[in-house]
Structure 1
Amino acid sequence: MKAGVVREHVEIYVEGSPRRHPNLPLRENPVEMTDVPTPSPSSGQVLIAVEACGVCYTDIDIIEGRVKCKLPVIPGHQIIGRVVEISEGVSDLNVGDRVGVAWIAWSCGHCEHCVRGYENLCVHYRATGCDLDGGYAEYTVAYANYTYRVPGNVEAERLAPLMCAGSIGWRAYKLAGIYEGARVGLLGFGSSAHIVIQVIRKLHPSVEVYVFTRSREHMELARRLGADWVGHPSETPPRRVNVAIDFTPVGETVSRALELLERGGRLVVNAIRKQTPIVLNYAEHLWMEREVKSVANVTRSDVREFIDFYVKHGIDTHVQVYKLEEVNTALRDLKAARTRGAPVLRIK
């Protein structure tokens, strides 16, 4: 089968971008397109013919070595496809079922976190496109109890962002505790934030939403999706916010978000990691009962809840589609913030 494989940690070359990892080789095409054997499902797994797979900033982190994964690895954890083979021990899926696969591929099921339904905190969990090969390929295998039924009448490219950007945005939304009449700040406006603003608009019509982003394209999209105010992160919004969600990969926006928080406000950091340090001053950033919560990916309940929300309410997932062979272009565009929506690879 055709697949995109990462064989070594490299820094992805983006023209005009300063080097962050001079100890790594610099590569314009970090993913090698090649033919590899089609995998066979083990007990409890299914073989999936991949229709589409989203490209996530975590994939960049994997390639550049900030997330430790097996090498070589086939990245990709926002997978939509059809079940084409079932192994022993699988009883709730059939050949032909359309499913999605997200970041968490497996968890132990018996640690203190798993038994409470927080498999996203499991110390032993395995990740799709990291510990197990992912969706930058024509076929992939997944544990059946970590797949999710998805609508059959929607383009795969539109569904792929639900598996990560949408679901993790949903978890961030729940942790934020947004209430009617609140003022909400969204810092960064990429794949996840453009979904979260639609959730807020549908569930909390009286909320004011302020969007902070450097990208002109993202500013325009935020306005189209109903933001009450849009500006650069250095600009001052009309009023302080009661809730802020930070979607960016850098540490500076955490301190900026806390500067913008009203007394008693809450910041949710919707990021797996930060590329730059977070520098805080207690009196300026945390005093007056300000709170900070981090997001550690998603539980299966989060993914199922968000798929149900999508089916009931509808969300316009703005995507930029690439062919599988264009994966390196997609990665460079994502790193340079040039995408005009969530980047998605069309596989079949």
Structure 2
Amino acid sequence: MRAMVLERQGEPLVLSDLPLPRPGPGQVLIEITACGVCRTDLHVVDGDLTKPKLPLVPGHEIVGRVRAIGDGVSTLKQGQRVGVPWLGHACGCCRYCREHAENLCDAPGFTGYTIDGGYAEACVADARFTFPLPAEGSDAELAPLLCAGLIGYRSLKMSGDAATLGIYGFGAAAHIMAQVALWQGRRLFAFTRPGDTAAQDFARRLGACWAGDSTEMPPEELDAAIIFAPVGALVPAALRGIRKGGIVVCGGIHMSDIPSFPYEILWGERQVRSVANLTRADGEEFLALARQAGVRCEVETFPLGEANIALDRLRRGQLTGAAVLLP
């Protein structure tokens, strides 16, 4: 099979021919039809996340069809359309798994980081962490739901019942969660990198009641804010924009250092929370909710061999919506 391989962090991916993997017990072989390009992939490639398996096939927003089934798998069928997310394995026996918090597992496996992922024509995946996908929607449009959507949804849940919601960083996750939040009846305020009028226009087109630079204060106090951009300086900025008792949710797996800030902007029982990975329950809830809310992903597709171009476009902030690779 063809695959884009990360041989060393900080270097471009290499188009390679690899042996077709075989599913072991509890696994399925998936013929990949689309794989989203996530900011976490960029953190892996650029070296912000420092412990990948190498060489590595990145990618964890995988859509494809089941082509072979390993021993002991009874939940999936040949030919079924499925999705594979970031959390590709959990031990099932640590305190977090026992407490239904498998997203915090002490011995996890992560697709496209510690497990070969979806920048390829095929992959193997743990059947327990593989989601059946609905019949509706194209493969490319479904792919971003597998991480941008899932992590966004967990972030949205952590924001509580916020009626006025700020989103910092209006990329793949934000444009999905904006649709869910607006469907739920929330009022949305979008914050982008300074001068990114294209992203601001995109947010307004989706239904945001205000969009502006992340250096600006919102026109009114917010009940909560979600930060998708990996910029630590946005934490004190968001704290200044929320009301007493409000919540700031950090929705990324990596963020630059948070600068010091005066206690007074945290005081008043404001909260700062982080989101770590996802659970299978998150996936089941969100995929059902996305259908009800009529979520549509805006995507730009690239051939598999142009993965480096897609990553660089993401790195430079030159994408509207989400990038998706088509093998």
TM interval, short-chain normalised: over 0.9
Q: Which residue of 2 is the match for residue 185 of structure 1? A: 166
Partner of 1:309: 289
Partner of 2:221: 240
Shift, 1:185, TM fit: 0.9
Amino acid across the alignment from 1:336: R
One-letter amino acid matched to 2:238:
A
Aligned positions of 1:303-342 closer than 5 A = 303-342=283-322
Gaps of 5+ in 1: 11-26
Equivalent position SS for 2:20: coil
Distance apart, 1:282 and its partner CA = 4.0
TM-score by length of 1: 0.91
By how many angstroms is 1:312 displaced?
2.2
Q: Which amino acid aligns with 2:38?
A: C
Describe the superposition over 1:198-231 as per-residue Cα deviations: whole angstroms up to 9, x where unpaired. Answer: 1111112xx3211110222211110011101110
Match of 1:5 in 2: 5
C-alpha distance after superposition, 1:232-272 (max 9, x if no partner): 01122211211111111111111110111111111111011
The CA distance in 2 between the partners of 1:345 and 1:118, in whole Å, is 31
2:252 aligns with one of 255, 265, 271: 271
SS in 2 for 1:168: helix
Q: Does 1:117 align with 2:117?
A: no
Are 2:66 and 2:81, in contact at CA under 8 Å, matched by a contact in 1?
yes
1:62-99 deviation per Cα after TM superposition (whole angstroms, max 9, x unaligned): 11222211100000000000000001010111110110
1:70-149 to 2 correspondences below 5 Å: 70-149=53-132
Q: Which residue in the other structure is 1:212 paired with?
A: 191
Q: 1:286 aligns with which of 242, 250, 266?
A: 266
Counterpart CA distance in 2 for 1:248 and 1:153 is: 30
How many residue pairs get aligned? The number is: 324
Given candidates 38, 41, 45, the residue that maps to 1:59 is: 41
SS in 2 for 1:113: helix
Q: Structure 2: how far apart are the matches of 1:184 and 1:154? A: 28
TM-score scaled by length of structure 2:
0.97
1: distance between equivalents of 2:24 and 2:112?
17
1:85 partner amino acid: A
Deviations 1:163-208 (A, max 9, x none): 00001111001111024xx22111110000111111111112xx32
One-letter amino acid of the structure 2 residue matched with residue 183 of structure 1: T
Q: Distance in 2 between matches of 1:283 and 1:300?
A: 37
Tell me the equivalent position of 2:144.
Answer: 161
Deviation at 1:310, TM superposition (A): 1.7
* Alignment pair present for 1:48 and 2:30: yes
AA partner of residue 189 (structure 2): Y
Question: Which residue in the other structure is 2:16 paired with?
Answer: 34
Name the CA distance, whole Å, in 2 between partners of 1:264 and 1:311.
Answer: 32
Following the alignment from structure 1 to structure 2, what is the Cα–Cα distance between the partners of residues 308 and 325?
33
**Structure 1 moving runs of 4+ over 6 Å:** none
In the aligned structure 2, how far is the partner of 1:345 from the partner of 1:64? 19
1:194 matched to which residue of 2?
Answer: 175
Matched residue of 2:182: which SS? Answer: helix
SS at match of 1:340: coil
Residue 173 of structure 1: aligned partner: 156
Shift of 1:284: 3.2
Could you say which residue in structure 2 is the equivalent of 1:18?
Answer: none
Matched with 2:235 is: 254
Gaps of 5+ in 2: none
Asked whether the 8 Å contact 1:120–1:297 carries over to 2, the reply is yes
